[in-house]
Amino acid sequence: MPVSEDSIAETVFQANRICQKIRCEKSRIEESDPLETEKFYVTSSWVLFIVGVILFVLGFSYEDVKSTLTLLGTIFIVLPTLISIIVVIISITKSPKLIDLEQECTNKLGEFFEVQTQQYRKKGLQWSIGDQILWIQLEKI
């Protein structure tokens, strides 16, 4: 049973799409900011710290609410410090998952062509992938 040219072209097109998806995912990961969330927390910590300093200073200015304002000021100074320490620890331990493009393409194309070869074997053909994914070949078996 002969294989149509469209069937072969569709298989090659699907293999190309697999590689394109992997490349797009790799680019997305590399271009994304891994510390975006941490930046929000650090910025929020600075705002809380400034509010704490203001409350602390106001606590010494107004005698009637001195203890309340200094307590709130202290809380608003200590809280951002703790948040900043946690953010630093998270930033040190967290690393983005980078993709090895060649390895990932080899794995995904291997899986894809394994399925394709099972279908093409019924027609006496099989797909093979060249070294470092430089070429693919449809051969008779």
Q: What is the pLDDT of residue 13?
A: 93
List the chain domain ranges. Answer: 1-32+98-141, 33-95
Mean pLDDT by 10 residues, the chain (141 residues): 82 92 90 77 86 83 77 86 86 79 88 88 84 80 79
Report residue 122: phi and psi, to 5°.
-60, -20
Q: CB–CB of 86/99 below 8 Å?
A: no
Q: What is the pLDDT of residue 21?
A: 95
Q: What is the pLDDT of residue 1?
A: 57
Q: What is the pLDDT of residue 17?
A: 95
Output the 3-class SS for the chain.
CCCCHHHHHHHHHHHHHHHHHHHHHHHHHHHCCCCHHHHHHHHHHHHHHHHHHHHHHHHHHCHHHHHHHHHHHHHHHHHHHHHHHHHHHHHHHCCCCCCCHHHHHHHHHHHHHHHHHHHHHCCCEEEEECHHHCCEEEEEC
Q: What is the pLDDT of residue 23?
A: 92
